[in-house]
């Protein structure tokens, strides 16, 4: 076949003919056979011709494509826009969904997952990367939801408020939240190392996460893991050098992992033992509509206040 590798067809030798040329079987048969071969290797409009190589569209579109219905069909844009998957879906990289998605079988994603539209999963979902859902997540099954689990040392290096996990060291569910820290007196620096001084005992420990905001220069702001250097001082490492002490010190929030639920525990499934800490490390108010009880002795750290509102009671036994 006389195609040049780019799809251009060239007649075989002896063509085109000139007037008074005698038609011979050699010329005619060679030319007709070549034309027949070229037509056979061309795509028929009625769909008879199977492809024997990749179809190069040269950056052009396939238009007016019907909706695919079986596994070997191509799918059109509308199926991507509001996809419905009737079989198992495996994604080994990042999955991003911006429209409504219905999945009736198993979904396995090896990369990160972002869903900004509605997602409907009636099968099982396995996500080995991070998952981000812009709306609410409803689990309507009668089984269970498996949360992340690990030791205290395996907690995330950058937790966010609302995070929950099961702590295998403490054998309890825990959640991450923040509370207001002590008043800041000064923030100074040595290149990218900030030293924050509080007006009272901060009652923090090395490795605690704090979020500083409202400070000027802005390099002092952000979420950092701290190193405690004194009762009223701790340091943290900034991304850039602020080139001077803070002219506005702002405030900070303290990140804290806390037990979720206060139920009693015991061996054999018996609910006997209610555990509480022995030291109050941050200020707390018992609201007027609530009562509280603790097993003593209880120590309240310096600079920390427990307020019992009018109409409430705190009992230490």
Mean pLDDT within 37-48: 80
- pLDDT band (50, 70, 90) for residue 2: low
Higher pLDDT, 147 or 119: 147
73 vs 245, which has greater pLDDT?
A: 245
Please state, in angstroms and as integers, the Cα–Cα distance from residue 299 to each residue in 19, 186, 279, 295, 306, following that order: 115, 28, 5, 11, 11
Range of the domain at 1: 1-60
Please report whether residue 149 resides in a domain.
no
pLDDT in tens, 162-173: 999 999 988 888
What's the mean pLDDT when you consider all of the chain?
83
66 found inside a domain: no
Same domain (yes/no): 201, 249: yes
Same domain, 250 and 190: yes
Using CA of residue 242, residue 243, residue 245, residue 247, what is the dihedral sign? negative
> Is residue 64 classed exposed, middle or buried when 0-12, 13-18 and 19+ CB atoms within 10 A define those classes?
exposed
Tell me the pLDDT tens digit for each residue of 5-28. Answer: 777 888 888 888 888 888 888 888
Name the band, by pLDDT with cuts 50, 70 and 90, for residue 189. Answer: very high
Band of pLDDT at residue 198, cut at 50, 70 and 90: very high
Question: Does residue 210 surpass a pLDDT of 60?
Answer: yes
Residues 243 and 187 in one domain: yes
Domain count, the chain: 4
* Per-residue pLDDT tens digits for 212-267: 999 999 999 999 999 999 999 999 999 999 999 999 999 999 988 888 876 666 66
The answer as to whether 167 is a domain residue is no
Pair (224, 288) in one structural domain: no
Give the pLDDT mean for 200-214. 90
pLDDT recorded at residue 317: 93
For the chain, give the percent of residues with pLDDT over 70: 79
Q: Which pLDDT does position 32 carry in this prediction?
A: 87
> pTM of the predicted model, to two decimals?
0.53
249 and 293 inside one domain = no
The pLDDT tens digits for 83-141 are 666 666 667 776 776 666 666 666 666 666 666 666 666 666 666 666 666 667 777 77
The torsion region of residue 210 among left (phi > 0), alpha (psi -120 to 50) and beta comes to beta
Instruction: Measure CA of the first residue to CA of the last residue in the chain; give whole Å.
Output: 98
| Residue 141 domain-assigned (yes or no) | no
Residue 99 falls inside a structural domain: yes
In a domain, 165, yes or no: no
As a whole-number percent, the residues of the chain with pLDDT over 90 amount to 29
Contacts of 224 (CB under 8 A, 6+ apart): 194, 209, 210, 211, 212, 236, 237, 238
- Under 8 Å between Cβ of 233 and 184: no
Q: Is there a domain that residue 37 lies in?
A: yes
The number of C-alpha atoms within 13 Å of 184 and in the hemisphere containing its C-beta is 28
């Amino acid at each position: 076949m006389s195609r040049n590798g780019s799809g251009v067809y060239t007649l075989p030798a002896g063509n085109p003919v000139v007037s008074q040329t005698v038609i011979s079987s050699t010329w005619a048969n060679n030319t007709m056979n070549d034309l027949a071969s070229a037509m056979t290797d061309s795509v028929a409009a009625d769909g008879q011709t199977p492809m024997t190589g990749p179809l190069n569209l040269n950056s052009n579109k396939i238009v007016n494509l019907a909706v695919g219905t079986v596994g070997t069909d191509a799918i059109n844009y509308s199926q991507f826009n509001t996809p419905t998957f009737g079989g198992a879906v495996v994604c080994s990289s990042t999955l991003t969904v911006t429209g409504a998605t219905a999945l009736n079988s198993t979904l396995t994603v090896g990369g990160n997952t972002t869903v900004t539209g509605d997602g409907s999963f009636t099968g099982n979902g396995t996500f080995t990367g991070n998952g981000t859902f812009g709306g609410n997540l409803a689990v309507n099954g009668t089984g269970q939801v498996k949360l992340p689990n690990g030791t205290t040392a395996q907690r995330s290096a950058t937790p966010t408020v609302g995070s929950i996990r099961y702590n295998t060291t403490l054998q309890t569910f825990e959640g991450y939240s923040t509370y207001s820290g002590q008043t800041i007196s000064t923030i100074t620096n040595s290149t990218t190392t900030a030293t924050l001084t509080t007006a009272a005992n901060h009652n923090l420990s090395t490795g605690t996460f704090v979020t500083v905001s409202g400070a000027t220069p802005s390099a002092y702001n952000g979420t950092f893991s701290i190193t405690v250097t004194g009762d009223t001082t701790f340091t943290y490492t900034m991304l850039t050098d602020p080139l001077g002490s803070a002219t506005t010190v702002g405030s900070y929030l303290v990140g804290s992992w806390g037990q979720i639920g206060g139920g009693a525990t015991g061996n054999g499934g018996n609910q006997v033992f209610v555990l509480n800490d022995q030291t109050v490390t941050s200020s707390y108010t018992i609201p007027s509509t609530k009562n509280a009880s603790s097993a003593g002795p209880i120590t309240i750290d310096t600079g920390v206040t427990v307020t019992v509102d009018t109409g409430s009671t705190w009992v230490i036994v």
